[in-house]
Structure 1
Amino acid sequence: MNYLNSTNNQYGGTYVSPKNLPDSSAAFVSQLKESLTIWQTQKIKVVWIKIPNARAKLLPLLYQAGFINHHCDLNFMMLTLRLEEGAVIPPFAKHTIGVGGLVINDNNELLTVREKDHIKTHPHNWKFPGGMLDPYEHIEHGVIREVLEETSIQTEFHSFIGFRHHHQGQFSTSNIYAVCRLKPLTLDITIQESEIFDAKWFPIEDYLADEKIGKYNQQILQSALKHSGLKNINLPGYMPSDQDYEVFMTP
């Protein structure tokens, strides 16, 4: 076979999997040249080729053929080539998702932390414990995990309160910061010493009255006190597995 075996998609594109790459660079060049002719005859709009790290020597050959980088992770680079003028190449994901846990105990106190990274520049930045979601992690699971890691407080999910969207995230990405209300199951705080400077249960009245506290945190706390928030709703049959999605809406 003197061409690259590929799989066509519903959008008029075709994809070459790493398992279909020949062993030698010379064979790759030959098969790529023949494949481009075939794909153009078939009126393929866009070609996608995934190159694992172990085959990185193929990258310059693809660049010479006009391919460009589309996205990557720690193990591969995905390249693409537009064969039809004007064909749509969808952009790769440009958002990260962070979570904050709004935890209120029976004494009307809010669980807050101060982070080591910000203690010198923002010494009064008492914020909700939280952090970035892991890949493929649900919001509900991630916010419970982050609160536990930073404060050792065990919680259960109550509701989704709101989110902030901004365009000054890490590595030139946009960021969504989702705040969820959690019910505390324990009360004794033990901080995560690698990231957290200190933590405490902050009386809510004092938190809302403190002019040094971030206005966003105060506003979303007020919202949580007034409204029940959105619940995590199960929709049987919506997707093959409950692990594939989360849906938040009013009950």
Structure 2
Amino acid sequence: MEYAKRRLSGAVSGRSTGHRRVMRGRMAEILEFRANQFNGVVIAPAELPADAEEFDENLAASIDQWSSDGYLTIWLEIPKVKSALIPKAIDRGFDFHHTGDDYILLTKRLVEGSNIPPFATHYIGIGGVVLTPERDLLVVREKFGVGGREPTLKLPGGALLAGEHLGRAVEREVLEETGVKAEFESIACFRQWHGYRYGKSDIYFVGKLRPLSKEIVMQTSEIQECLWMPVDDFIGSENISNFNKQIVRAALESDGIVQSFIEGFGGPDTREYFMPKHLIDGSGVVPFPSDLASFS
């Protein structure tokens, strides 16, 4: 990733361009940056000055220059170790966009109405319908209910990790919560819920899995009960939510969509597609490899 850096030449006023601005006996410099494909400025985080006053002077000069050059937006990533720069950016009109473990990203519109896409809008989770040939369903009861309600029996599952595929995620969650090894087969259905947490929406996928073991080793930190239950008893129980009944029915009565990838559109290590099984016929849509490490 290439960034550009240059000094201003001449004296700068608030709206002029191409001049030198002398700050405390030195020339202010344009912060190192690159232009993105949307005519926005992306400032190089590794090259930010450590001194807050120096940063403020350079940022002010840079904003003037980039405005004159016709750029639309500025993207400013500040590492945690340089967090003292954040108030200076706020004073220059930047807004918070999102944070990571060791950085914060701020943005500024140089032209009113310019598009700044929001950060991630959804949480992603997945539950597993693990069903034996004898139609026994693997269920759990969590220790803590939602909204103060008493926990009821439900499917094992949880949130995806960053960069994790759906099938691997539900296999991991089932194993962590129940100790049961299971193999992912298909996606039966999914649910979207707006206003889930911190103003973000939630997508909950339901995967169908084939058990490879039956012995239960319960995760005691999160789960208070784990058992194999006849699936007909689960669906017929008055103590099970209708939502959980319907998603189990979807897994029972549908083949769902299966994990695949499309040749020429990224490898299965970074992308996955879900298609009806009958479309996976070798003409571009192909089965997902069982061993990603061997894919090349």
How far 1:169 moved relative to its partner?
2.0
The yes-or-no answer on 1:68 pairing with 2:95 is: yes
How many residue pairs match? The answer is 249
Match of 1:122 in 2: 150
Structure 1 residue runs without a partner (length 5+) = none
Residue 174 of structure 1 and its aligned partner are, at CA, apart by 0.9
Letter in 1 for 2:275: M
Higher helix share: 1
* 1:39-78 CA-partner distances (Å, limit 9, x unpaired): 0111100001000111011011111111111111121110
Note if contact 1:113-1:196 (Cα within 8 Å) is conserved in structure 2.
yes
Measure how far apart 1:154 and its partner are: 0.3
Which residue identity does 1:196 align to in structure 2?
I
Hey, what does 1:154 align to over in structure 2? 181
Tell me what 1:48 maps to.
75
Pick from 116, 119, 130 the counterpart of residue 92 of structure 1: 119
Q: Which whole-Å CA distance do the structure 2 matches of 1:105 and 1:155 have between them?
A: 10
Give the superposition deviation at 1:10. 0.9
Pick closer, same or farther for the CA change 1:53–1:114 going to 2, 3 Å. same
Residue of structure 1 in register with 2:275 after alignment:
249
Normalized against structure 2, the TM-score is what?
A: 0.81
Q: Comparing both structures, which one devotes a greater share of its residues to strand?
A: 2
Q: 2:240 aligns with which of 208, 213, 230?
A: 213
State whether residues 167 and 173 of structure 1, in contact with CA within 8 Å, keep that contact through their aligned partners in structure 2. yes
The residue that corresponds to 2:65 in the other structure is 38
Find the aligned partners of 1:17 and 1:196 in 2 and give their Cα distance. 45
- Cα distance per residue 1:114-144 (max 9 Å; x no partner): 0001298324x11000011111211111110
**Which of these residues, 260, 277, 290, is aligned with residue 233 of structure 1?**
260
Over the residues paired in the alignment, what is the CA RMSD in angstroms? 1.4
Aligned-partner SS, 1:84: coil
2:220 pairs, out of 193, 201, 214, with 193
TM alignment of 1:102-121, pairs within 5 A: 102-118=129-145, 121=149
SS at match of 2:154: coil
- Structure with higher Rg: it is 2
- Residue equivalent to 1:14: 41
TM-score by structure 1 length?
Answer: 0.95
Alpha carbons of 1:168 and 1:85: their partners in 2 closer, same or farther (altered >3 Å)? closer
Identical pairs, percent: 37
CA distance in 1, matches of 2:269, 2:144: 33
Cα distance in 1, alignment partners of residues 149 and 115 from structure 2: 44
Unaligned runs of 5+ in 2: 1-6, 8-28, 278-296
2:101 aligned counterpart, secondary structure: coil
Between the aligned partners of 2:230 and 2:180, the Cα distance in structure 1 is 17
Q: Using the alignment, how far apart are the partners of 2:109 and 2:261 within structure 1?
A: 40
Residue 134 of structure 2 corresponds to residue 142 of structure 1? no
**Which amino acid letter does the alignment assign opposite residue 100 of structure 1?**
G
* CA–CA separation in structure 1 for the residues paired with 2:93 and 2:145: 45
